[in-house]
Amino acid sequence: MKPTLLVLAAGMGSRYGGLKQMDGVGPHGEIIMDYSVEDAIRAGFGKVVFVIRHSFAEEFKRHINADHFGGRIAVEYVYQELDKLPAGFSVPEGREKPWGTNHAILMAKDVIHEPFAIINADDFYGRDAFMVMARHLETLAGTEGRYCMVGYRLENTLSENGTVSRGVCEIDAQGHLAGMTERTSIGRTANGIEYKDVDGTMHPLSADATVSMNLFGFTPDYFGKSEKLFVDFLREHGQEMKSEYYIPFAVNTFIADGSATMTVLKTTAQWFGVTYKEDRPMVVERLARLHGEGVY
């Protein structure tokens, strides 16, 4: 059974100010999501599911559909809305903020029944990352709790136009994620790559430190476990205006209670995105180079 790719795209309308303004950064007007799906097809994924919102669904489907990808991959859509909550819960009056990335994953529980990977719609992950992920997911059919993530070399994820935050991974002897520490204000300095702590002190980081860029792989049991945890989350934080149910929160919980492991898969791929508006020319240049090299 081929794995599925789940694309978190529900924030696109607000992030881009309308789908017509989705940024065509490729030499023929391609958006970053086009490259992710192309890489997934070549890696052997059999279906792509887009998490979107009803407010821009019609326009999204006109642009992004099976025909758009030449009919080479099955396409489905699911919807993340504030009121899609477990029984017994409701949206607090005045809340407008979405419930977060792990809530978005839960929207796909009725259409994904095989191992799957999740990505953000507007990040470029690189072909090798999809190949590594697909090969691993194909070994997980019929299993439970054997999750995975693609770990990138830190130096392959930095911006030349400002500092970034990254989850720096600790990996145990079995190749499983043992912990993740969020480091902020990471950038290149005269001393190499460094991050700044809460006191403003600079500390070195290795260029080959493994970091998470939120490219995770799960088996379908994740939906049930995650939904139960979401109920606990809503009981504690459901009346807050800005609380969000994030993927790392669930992953860390399942690792800590022993109900899951997360294998860290290494990739040589370079990750990039438009973290700063000044990053756009770099993204355009890198994609043009990949086209010139015949990768796309």
What does the pLDDT average to over 106-133? 97
What does the pLDDT average to over 230-242? 95
Closest CA to 182 of 214, 226, 139: 214
Q: Where residue 17 falls among pLDDT bands split at 50, 70, 90?
A: low
Q: At what angle do helices 221-237 and 247-256 cross, to 10 degrees?
A: 110
Which pLDDT value is given to residue 118? 98
Which residue type, as a one-letter code, is found at position 104?
A: A
Q: Where residue 275 falls among pLDDT bands split at 50, 70, 90?
A: confident
Closest CA to 217 of 268, 265, 149, 269: 149
User: Which tokens sit at 121?
Assistant: 């719609």
Q: Hey, where are the domains in the chain?
A: 4-149+214-257+274-292
Question: How confident is the model over 131-163, as pLDDT tens digits?
Answer: 999 999 999 999 999 999 999 999 999 988 899
| pLDDT value at 222 more than 60 | yes
Per the CATH hierarchy, to which homologous superfamily does domain 4-149+214-257+274-292 belong? Spore Coat Polysaccharide Biosynthesis Protein SpsA; Chain A (3.90.550.10)
Closest CA to 132 of 265, 263, 36: 265
Which residue type, as a one-letter code, is found at position 60?
A: F
> Do 199 and 242 meet the contact criterion of CB atoms below 8 Å apart?
no
Centre a 10 Å sphere on the Cβ of residue 268 and count the other Cβ atoms it contains. 12
CA distances to 66, 119, 174, 249, 251 from 226, rounded to whole Å, are 29, 17, 24, 10, 9
User: Which tokens sit at 282?
Assistant: 């770099």
Q: Taking all residues of the chain, what is their mean pLDDT, rounded to a whole number?
A: 93
Angle (nearest 5°) at CA 295 between 290 and 296 = 85
Bridging pattern class, strands 177-189 and 192-196? antiparallel
User: Which tokens sit at 79?
Assistant: 């919807």
Cβ neighbours for 19, distance < 8 A, ≥ 6 positions apart:
12, 13, 56, 59, 60, 63
User: What are the b/e assignments for 160-178, b being 16+ CB within 10 Å?
Assistant: ebebbebbbbebeeeebbe
User: Which tokens sit at 61?
Assistant: 């489907």
User: Which tokens sit at 95?
Assistant: 């809340």
**Least confident window among 2-16, 135-149, 178-192, 194-208:** 2-16
Give the sign of the dihedral formed by CA 73, CA 224, CA 51, CA 15: negative
